[in-house]
Structure 1
Amino acid sequence: MPAPLTTAAVSAAPQTSPGASPRAVLSLLTSLFFTWGFITVINNTLLPHLRSVFDLNYTQTTLIESVWFIAYFFASIPSARLIERIGYQKSMVFGLGMMAVGALLMIPAARLPSYGVTLCALFVIACGITLLQVSANPYVAVLGSPETASSRLNLVQAFNSLGATLAPLFGAYLILGRSASGTAEAGHVLTQAEKLADAQAVQLPYLIVAGVLVILALVISRFPMPKMHHGATSRVSDAEREKMSLWKHRNLVFGIPAIFIYLIAEIGVANLFINFTGQPEIGGLSHEQGAHYLFLLWGGMLIGRFVGAWAMNKTTAERVLAFCAIGAFIVMMIAALGTGSVALWALISVGLFHSVMFPTIFTLGIKGLGPMTEEGAGLLIMAIAGGALVVVQGWLADTVGLQLSFLLTAACELYVLFYALWGSKATNAFPDEKAV
C-alpha cells in the first residue's frame, strides 16, 4: 500500500540539527518504506494459506486484514504522542522493534496453530508499521528544500511499491511453495496432518523477517541522523485557530471518505486476488501460481506511479485521478462479470489505475487548508482504517460469490470519480505557503 504523507510533511518544516548528509539519510530511510510495503503485501499470500489451514470462510479470512487496518485507527494518535516524547529516530527504532516482536509471535501462532494468536501477531506488526508511517514521512519531507519535498516523498513511496511488488514472490516461494495448500490443485481437501505441516510453513519466513527488522533497527539507532526540532511552526494563534473550521473545506470533507473507500477497493483486490485466480471459471490456478500473477498486480502499481507522476506534469491531478477512476471501474466490471483470462487480466490491470489514487486523493484533500493542514492530514491518515472494511467484501464473497463481490470494488471506483470531478474542488482555501 502507498505510504501516506503525514502532518509535518505538509506544514511548516521543522528545523534540523547537524548529522549525516540528507542524501545518506534518505538512502537509509528508503529501506523503511521498502520494508513496510514488503511486509504488508506478504499478507496477500498469507491469507489464502491461512484460509486453508484454519478452514476459514471468506469473512473470517478478510477479518485478518481488517485487524491489520484497525491498527491504523488505534495506533495513529498514540504514535504521534510517542514521537513528541522520544523523537523521530527513536520512534523509528521502536516501530521496527514492535514489528519484530509481532513477526516472532507468528512462530508460536504457527506451532499451536492458533487463529487468535495469528490475529494478535499481525495487529502488533501493523501497529509498528503505523508508527513508522507517522515518523518516517515527515522526516523525509524536511531532508532538503521544501520545494522538492513532494519529489522526495514520491521517490521513497516508489520503494514502498518495490517492496510490495517483490513480496508475493517471497511468499510464493517460502510460504505457498512449501505448503500442501499452496501447491495443490483447486478443490483438493487437506488432511489434518497436511494442515499442521502447512501452519508451520510460516515459521521460517517470519523468522527471516524478524531478523531483518532487528538488524535495520540497530543500523538506524546508530546512524547519525539529524534531529528535528519543533519550535516556531505554528502559523496562527490559538484564538485565531478557534474561529476556523475544517468542515468548510469541501476537498477535505469528501477526501476523508475517498481515502476510506479507496482503501476498501485496494485491499479487497489484493487480499482476494489469489483465491480469484483459483476459481475454475477464471484460471484454476494453485495458490503458488496465483502469487506470481499477484506480482504483476503490484508491479503495475509501481509502474503506474512513475507514469502518473509524469502525467501530472502535463495536466491536472484531478484529471489524472478521474481517468484512473474510470479505467478502474471498467476493468473491475470485466473482472466481476467476465470469465477466463479476460477477467484475470482485467483484475491484474487495476493495479495500474489504483497506483496514483492514494497520494493524489491525499494531496487534493489537504489543499488550501493553511494553518489547519496538520489536523486535516491527521484525519486523512486515520481514514486508512477503511481497509478494515474489506471484511464486507469477504461477507459478500460468502453470500453472492467471490467474483461478484468485486462489484463492491467497482462501486468504490465511482466514489473516487465523484471526488475527482467535484468533491476535490477546494472551498474557502487559504493561499499556498512555503515551508519555513
Structure 2
Amino acid sequence: MNHATSKVTVSKKSGTGNNYLIPLILVTSLFFFWGFIHNLDPILIPHLKKVFTLNDLETAFVDFSVFIAYFVMALPAGYFMRRYGYKSGIIVGLLFFAIGSFLFIPAANTQQYIFFLGALFIIACGLAFLETAANPYITILGDPETATRRLNFSQSFNGLAAFMAPIIGGKFILSGTEYTEAQINAMLPADRQIYLAQEAASVKGPYLVLGIIICIIIVLFAVVKLPDIKHEEESTDSNNGASISKILKHKHLKWAVIAQFFYVGAQVCILSFFIRFATTAAGISQLQASWYAGAAGLAFMLGRFAGTFFMQFIAPNKLLILYASINVGLCFLAIFGTGMITVYALIGISFFMSVMFPSIFSMGISGLGHDTKLGSSLIVMSIVGGALLPLGLGYISDLTGNIQYGYAVPAVCFLVVLLYAAKYWQPQQNHTNNNLL
C-alpha cells in the first residue's frame, strides 16, 4: 500500500514573512489562558461542594463537564481547521471560551449546579478548538528538530497559569468561611439562603473579567496576520482524505492517544482534588490549601522549564520513563503517608508530570504528514480521560471514606505513561515522514 507524503508550506502574508515571533507570542498566550481556566477548577470543586453540599463523586462532575467537551468537540475542531485553517479555529475556540465565562453570571444568579456545569462545558468546547490548533501550530512554527522543546516552552506558560490561578481564585472565590454541612443545615432558612447566595455569587467577578480579557484576545487574533500552515499532499493513494482507521495504523499515535488519556486523567485527579485532599489528609484550611495548590502550580511551571532544558541532553521518551517512575512512588507516598508529607508528595508529582502532555503530544503526531491535524484531534479527544478517571477517584473516596485511597487511580495512570515511553513511543519507519517534525 502506498502512503501519502507531504510537505509543509507557510503562507507569507504581508507583515509576517519568515518572522514567527508575533505568531508564537499570540499562540503561546493561549496556553496561559486555558491553563488558567483549568486551574480554577481546584477552587471551584471545594467551593461548589460547599454551596450545593455535594459528595466527592458529585464534585467530580466539574471535571467531567470540562473534559467530556474535549471528546465531543475535538474531531469537529480538527475537521473545521482542515477546511478553514488554524486561525479560524482559534477564533471560534475563543468565542466559546468567552461565552462560557459570561454564562457564570446567570448560573450564579439561579444557584443551580447544572448551570455551572453547562457553562464549564461551553468553555471547554472552546478549549478543544484551542488545543487542537495551538499544539500542532507551535510544533510547526520553527525548526522541526526543536519541535518538542518549543512545545514544552509554550506549555510552560500553562504552568505559570497553574501557579497563579489557585492563588487568585482562592482570594476572590473562596470566602474563608467554612461551615460543616450540619452547621449550614442548622441555620435559619433565611440566613442559609443569604449565605449560599453570597457564596454562589463570588464566582461572578473573576469569570466576568476573564470573559472580557478573552474578548480582547479575539480582537488581536482577528486583526493580526498569522502565517497559514498548509500540508501539500503528494499521494498515489486512491483515497487522499485522512481517516481515523487509517491514521490509527500509526502504532505510536494509537499509543499516544492511550497514554494521553491516562496522563490527563492523572493530572486532573492530582490538581482538581488538591484542596480537598490537603484539607482532609493534612488538616489545613481551604485558604491555606489554595496557597499550596499555587505551590503545586509553581512546581508544574518549573518542571516545564526544567524539562525543556533537560531535553537538550536527554531524549524525551527517556525523560518520561524517569518522571513516570518517580510519580508512581510519590502516589504511594500520598496514599499511605500522613500529614503535610502527603501534600508535598502532590507538589512533587506536579513537577514531574509537567512535561508529560506536550511530550506525548509531539511524539504522537511525529511523522503524520498531512494527517497531523486529524491526529492532533484524536490526541485531544483522549483528554476525555480527565472526565472519566476523576469519577473513579471520587467513587473510591466516597466508598472508603478516605480520599487518599483514591490516589491509586493516578498511580495506575503513571504506570501506563511509563509503558508508552518505554515501549511504544517510536514511529514505525515506513510511516515516518521526515519532512514534518
Indicate whether the TM-score tops 0.5.
yes
Q: How does 1:78-227 map to 2 (within 5 A)?
A: 78-176=76-174, 179=175, 182-184=176-178, 189-190=183-184, 191=187, 192=192, 193-223=194-224, 225-227=225-227
Q: 1:404 to 1:121 in 2, by over 3 A?
A: same
Map 1:416-431; keep pairs closer than 5 Å.
Answer: 416-431=417-432
Q: Is 1:339 the equivalent of 2:338?
A: yes
Alpha carbons 1:321, 1:357 under 8 Å: kept: yes
Task: Verify the 8 A CA contact 1:105 1:121 in the aligned structure 2.
Answer: yes
Q: Structure 1 residues 338, 110: closer, same or farther in 2, change over 3 A?
A: same
RMSD: 2.6
Which deviates more, 72-81 or 331-340?
A: 72-81
Q: Which residue of 2 aligns with 1:315?
A: 314
Contact 1:186 1:286 in 2 (8 A): no
For 1:349, give the aligned amino acid: G
Shift of 1:99: 1.2
In 1, Cα distance between the equivalents of 2:80 and 2:239?
28
| Structure 1 residues 214 and 348, CA gap change in structure 2 (3 angstroms) | same
**Equivalent residues in 2 for 1:323-362, closer than 5 Å:** 323-362=322-361
Which residue of 10, 17, 21 corresponds with 1:15?
10
Deviation of 1:431 after TM superposition, in Å, equals: 4.4
For 1:5, the equivalent position in structure 2 comes to none
Counterparts in 2 of 1:268 and 1:355: CA distance versus 1, 3 Å: same
Q: 1 CA distance for matches of 2:87 and 2:248?
A: 34
Query: In structure 2, what is the Cα distance between the partners aligned to 1:80 and 1:375?
Result: 6
The residue that corresponds to 1:6 in the other structure is none
1-side partners of 2:49 and 2:24: how far apart?
A: 39
Residues 164 and 298 in structure 1, CA contact (< 8 A), matched pair in contact too: yes
User: Judging changes above 3 Å, is the alpha-carbon distance between structure 1 residues 188 and 345 closer, same or farther for their aligned structure 2 residues?
Assistant: farther
Separation in 1, partners of 2:89, 2:253: 28
Q: Aligned partners of 2:356 and 2:6: how far apart in 1?
A: 22
CA contact (8 A) 1:331 1:346 kept: yes
Give TM-score, length-normalised by structure 2. Answer: 0.88
How many residues are paired up?
419
Cα offset for 1:295? 0.8
Amino acid aligned to 1:132: L
- Determine the structure 2 residue equivalent to 1:413: 414
* TM-score, structure 1 normalization: 0.88
Q: Secondary structure at the match of 1:189?
A: helix
41-50 vs 24-33, which deviates more? 24-33
- The answer (yes or no) to whether the contact 1:249–1:429 under 8 Å persists in 2 is no
Any idea what SS the aligned residue of 1:38 has?
helix
Aligned to 1:55: 53
Map of 1:7 onto structure 2 = none
1:189 Cα deviation from its structure 2 partner: 3.5
- Partner residue in 2 for 1:391: 391
| Alpha-carbon distance in structure 1 between the residues aligned to 2:211 and 2:350 | 29
Give the SS at the match of 2:153. helix
* 3-state SS of 2:238 partner: helix
How far residue 272 of structure 1 moved from its aligned partner, in angstroms, is 0.8
For the structure 1 residues 308 and 152, does the alpha-carbon distance in structure 2 shift closer, same or farther, using more than 3 Å as the test?
A: closer
Amino acid at match of 1:189: Q
1:84 Cα deviation after fit: 4.4
Q: Give the whole-Å Cα distance in 2 for the aligned partners of 1:386 and 1:69.
A: 7
Is 2:286 the partner of 1:287? yes
Cα distance in 2 between the residues matched to 1:228 and 1:307: 31
Greater shift, 25-34 or 398-407, is seen at: 25-34
* Aligned partner letter, 2:317: E
Contact 2:132 2:376 in 1 (8 A): no
1:90/1:273 Cα in 2 relative to 1: closer, same or farther (>3 Å)? same
Task: Determine if the alignment matches structure 1 residue 30 to structure 2 residue 28.
Answer: yes
Distance 2:382 2:25 in 1: 29
The Cα of 1:264 is off from its aligned counterpart by 1.1
Percent identity, please: 34
Structure-2 change in CA distance of 1:387 and 1:212 (3 Å): same
Report the CA distance between 1:239 and its aligned residue.
2.7
Correspondence for 1:233: 232
